[in-house]
Amino acid sequence: MATKPEQFSELHRKNMEAAMKLAQMSIENSQRIVTLQVDVAKALFQDSVDNAKALAAAKDPQQAVTLRTHYTQETAQKMIEAARAITEIGNASRSEFSRLLSEQLASGSKDMMEAFQSFFGALPGQNTQVMETMQQAMAKANKAFEQISQASAAFGGEAPKKKSTRK
């Protein structure tokens, strides 16, 4: 069995790895959204140039109105598609974040409880009530996180994946 400082160091290392994964995921999703926005802006700019040329060549007011209506519909459709794509990126990101957080909480709780058990087990005059209180606090924290995760998933339109937690 690892020594107490090594257990806490390992727990800290795992938490840092999880934080780095979340940061990397956030950066990648931000890059995807920015790329999408740039692509949409380029397409809309080109469409507006093409529309301006078509309007300049329009032979009568009815043709101009038809061209403007068509351009407006195409622009609205592209904006809706971009919004949908950004929403999908956000939902996928929220789902992955929730999954990673659930895994981290489940394994982190277990690791933390083992570290505390080892720590308190080495103390003279062991008090089992302290350990029971810690276990109850961890179970309540896990339950609260589960409820938040379920509410978040319901808000995002996804069913949460239930993880088993050690109590």
Q: What is the pLDDT of residues 93-120, one digit of tens each?
A: 888 887 777 777 666 666 666 666 666 6
Largest interatomic CA distance in the chain: 96
* pLDDT of 134 over the 70 cut: no
* The predicted structure's pLDDT at residue 158: 47
**Per-residue CA distances from 87 to 25, 68, 76, 90, 156 (Å):** 16, 28, 16, 5, 10
Ranges of each domain in the chain: 4-156
Cβ count near 25 (within 10 Å): 15
N-terminal to C-terminal alpha carbon distance within the chain: 21
Question: Rounded to the nearest 5 degrees, what angle is found at the Cα of 148, between the Cα atoms of 144 and 150?
Answer: 115
Instruction: Show the CA angle centred on residue 138, arms to residues 22 and 1, nearest 5°.
Output: 85
Q: What is the 3-state secondary structure (H, E, C) of 20-86?
A: HHHHHHHHHHHHHHHHHHHHHHHHHHHHHHHHHHHHHHCCCHHHHHHHHHHHHHHHHHHHHHHHHHH
pLDDT at position 141 is 73
The span from the CA of 58 to the CA of 69, in Å, is: 13
Which is higher by pLDDT, 140 or 154? 140
**How do residues 18-56 score in pLDDT, each as one tens digit?**
888 888 988 999 999 999 999 999 999 999 999 999 999
